[in-house]
């Protein structure tokens, strides 16, 4: 009887939705980096910890299918280099390029070549392979003809000098890295002209508690995380982040210090909720490899007006029937309005239920 009541309530919710006008999509602001990297909705992929060969195959497939890579991370895990990357649909078909595992001289040569060909750097990475520092970068065609600059291997004082200079000249910091070298901690920066006058904040060398405090403060002030980094300084874990004003008010999330399983759970939950990954970080800690990610609202599922009532119905049903977990998908007009998992598919393995979980016993309508 309770199952029948639940399904009837779902159907009533769907009928009510079908009669309601659609929720208008939020309008993305134009400028840097929003015009290119913050569409209201786009096709996307994010993968992690692939071997170099497997990632190259993935790269070739997605590039040929009209996607471009917007973020990449490389880290030696158990002695083997692993590659992670974030992709989005190349909506305007602009040229782009990615190079990795470069020496410093090789990186500089590509930097000059692509700059002369009208591309600008959007992401750079520095990482050790067998104890030797290597570099990687992603460049996109500078269709907007924006002024830009990038630096790497900066000392703390050099970072501060460039930061003050470019901030005063109307640039916005869009990417930063911190990494250990034989000469100590070094930093990288990518700057782009702030043509929209976006409010932004960048901080580095924060403790976990300091980052948490600033995170709450800036979220309350209407900022969202654009770029998040974590790195070790001696025995301490440090964080760096860039926040920008969330001009259109669309949803976002940022999480850090997750285990591989916790990251996987979070990825599935937020994918169901209608968010895409825009920034990814994998890093060493005293407790082992950890993960961080930034997500951005990618459709109108978070704004579905029946989301909260449906969630309440399902939560009550789970409580009344002592069910460990279930997955739910609701669609109208060939569009998913609600995707969510509740509880755990495997408690012992810490695997959450999501909309695509296949249970041994299932029903539908």
The pLDDT, as a whole number, for residue 54 is 98
Residue 200, pLDDT above cutoff 80 = yes
The pLDDT, as a whole number, for residue 361 is 56
SS3 percent helix, strand, coil of the chain, rounded to 5, is 30, 45, 25
CB 221 within 8 A of CB 246: no
The pLDDT, as a whole number, for residue 344 is 87
Give domain status of residue 203, yes or no.
Answer: yes
Give domain status of residue 365, yes or no.
Answer: no
Structural domain ending residue among the three candidates 283, 301, 319? 301
Same domain, 297 and 233: yes
More reliable by pLDDT, 265 or 34: 265
Same domain, 345 and 230: no
C-alpha to C-alpha distance for 177 and 140, rounded to whole angstroms: 19
Give domain status of residue 364, yes or no.
Answer: no
More reliable by pLDDT, 299 or 196: 299
Structural domain ending residue among the three candidates 258, 282, 301? 301
Same domain, 174 and 254: yes
Same domain, 14 and 104: no
Give domain status of residue 52, yes or no.
Answer: yes
Compute the half-sphere exposure of residue 98: CA atoms within 13 Å on the CB side of its CA. Answer: 18
Give domain status of residue 19, yes or no.
Answer: yes
Give the model's confidence band at 348: pLDDT under 50 very low, under 70 low, under 90 confident, else very high: confident
Q: How confident is the model over 182-193, as a mean pLDDT?
A: 97
The pLDDT, as a whole number, for residue 177 is 97
User: Helices 2-19 and 307-321 sit at what angle, rounded to 10 degrees?
Assistant: 180
Give domain status of residue 357, yes or no.
Answer: no
Same domain, 214 and 282: yes
The pLDDT, as a whole number, for residue 356 is 87
Residue 10, pLDDT above cutoff 70 = no
Give domain status of residue 362, yes or no.
Answer: no
Same domain, 291 and 317: no
Residue 293's CB is within 10 A of a number of other CB atoms, namely: 26
Sequence-distant (≥ 6) Cβ neighbours of residue 161 within 8 angstroms: none
The pLDDT, as a whole number, for residue 346 is 87
CB 241 within 8 A of CB 228: yes
Instruction: Give tens-digit pLDDT for 231-274.
Output: 999 999 999 999 999 999 999 999 999 999 999 999 999 999 99
The count of domains in the chain is 2
Q: How confident is the model over 343-362, as a mean pLDDT?
A: 82
Same domain, 16 and 134: no
The pLDDT, as a whole number, for residue 12 is 41
Sequence-distant (≥ 6) Cβ neighbours of residue 286 within 8 angstroms: 232, 235, 237
* Residue 167 C-alpha from the chain's centroid: 25
CB 70 within 8 A of CB 278: yes
DSSP state of 33: T
Structural domain ending residue among the three candidates 264, 283, 301? 301
Residue 180's CB is within 10 A of a number of other CB atoms, namely: 16
Same domain, 98 and 240: yes
Residue 217's CB is within 10 A of a number of other CB atoms, namely: 12
Give domain status of residue 359, yes or no.
Answer: no
Give the model's confidence band at 32: pLDDT under 50 very low, under 70 low, under 90 confident, else very high: low
C-alpha to C-alpha distance for 13 and 330, rounded to whole angstroms: 10
Instruction: List, in sequence order, the alpha helices (H) in the chain.
Output: 2-19, 34-37, 52-64, 104-116, 156-168, 208-220, 260-273, 307-321
Instruction: Give tens-digit pLDDT for 125-155.
Output: 999 999 999 999 999 999 999 999 999 999 9
Same domain, 51 and 13: no
Nearest CA among 134, 137, 147 for reference residue 111: 137
The pLDDT, as a whole number, for residue 360 is 63
Give the chain's mean pLDDT.
90
Q: Locate 301 and state its tokens.
A: 């599922």
Nearest CA among 98, 48, 101 for reference residue 68: 98
Q: Quick check: bond before 33 cis, omega within 30?
A: yes
Give the model's confidence band at 63: pLDDT under 50 very low, under 70 low, under 90 confident, else very high: very high
C-alpha to C-alpha distance for 203 and 55, rounded to whole angstroms: 32
The pLDDT, as a whole number, for residue 320 is 92
Range of the domain at 251: 34-301
Q: How confident is the model over 325-338, as a mean pLDDT?
A: 93
The pLDDT, as a whole number, for residue 253 is 98
CB 186 within 8 A of CB 204: no
Same domain, 284 and 316: no
Same domain, 63 and 181: yes
Same domain, 121 and 252: yes
| Stretch among 30-39, 141-150, 187-196 having the lowest mean pLDDT | 30-39
């Amino acid at each position: 009887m309770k199952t029948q009541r639940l399904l009837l309530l779902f159907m009533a919710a769907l009928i009510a939705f079908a009669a309601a006008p659609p929720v208008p999509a939020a309008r993305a602001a134009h400028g840097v980096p929003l015009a290119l990297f913050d569409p209201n909705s786009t096709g996307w992929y994010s993968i992690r910890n692939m071997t170099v060969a497997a990632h190259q195959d993935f790269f070739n497939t997605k590039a040929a299918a009209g996607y471009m890579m917007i973020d990449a991370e490389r880290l030696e895990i158990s002695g083997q280099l692993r590659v992670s990357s974030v992709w989005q649909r190349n909506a305007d078909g602009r040229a782009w390029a990615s190079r990795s595992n470069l020496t410093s001289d090789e990186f500089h040569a590509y930097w000059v070549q692509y700059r002369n060909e009208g591309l600008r750097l959007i992401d750079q990475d520095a990482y050790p392979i067998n104890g030797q520092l290597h570099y990687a970068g992603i460049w996109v065609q500078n269709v907007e003809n924006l002024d830009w600059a990038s630096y790497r291997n900066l000392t703390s004082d050099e970072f501060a000098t460039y930061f003050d200079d470019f901030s005063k000249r109307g640039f916005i910091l869009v990417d930063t890295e911190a990494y250990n070298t034989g000469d100590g901690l070094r930093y990288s920066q990518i700057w782009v002209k702030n043509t929209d006058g976006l409010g932004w904040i960048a901080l580095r060398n924060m403790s976990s508690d300091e980052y948490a405090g600033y995170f709450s403060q800036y979220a309350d002030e209407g900022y969202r995380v654009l770029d998040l980094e974590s790195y070790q300084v001696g025995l301490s874990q440090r964080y760096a982040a860039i926040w920008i004003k969330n001009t259109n008010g669309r949803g976002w999330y940022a999480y850090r210090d997750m285990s591989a399983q916790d990251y996987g759970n979070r990825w599935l939950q937020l994918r169901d909720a209608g968010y895409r990954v825009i920034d990814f970080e994998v890093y060493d800690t005293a407790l082992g490899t950890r993960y961080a990610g930034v997500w951005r609202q990618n459709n109108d599922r978070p704004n579905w007006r029946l989301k909260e009532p449906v969630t309440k119905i399902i939560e009550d049903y789970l409580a009344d029937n002592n069910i460990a977990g279930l997955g739910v998908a609701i669609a109208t007009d060939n569009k998913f309005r609600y995707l969510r998992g509740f509880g755990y598919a495997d408690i012992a393995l810490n695997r959450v239920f999501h909309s695509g979980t296949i249970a041994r016993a299932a029903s539908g309508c």
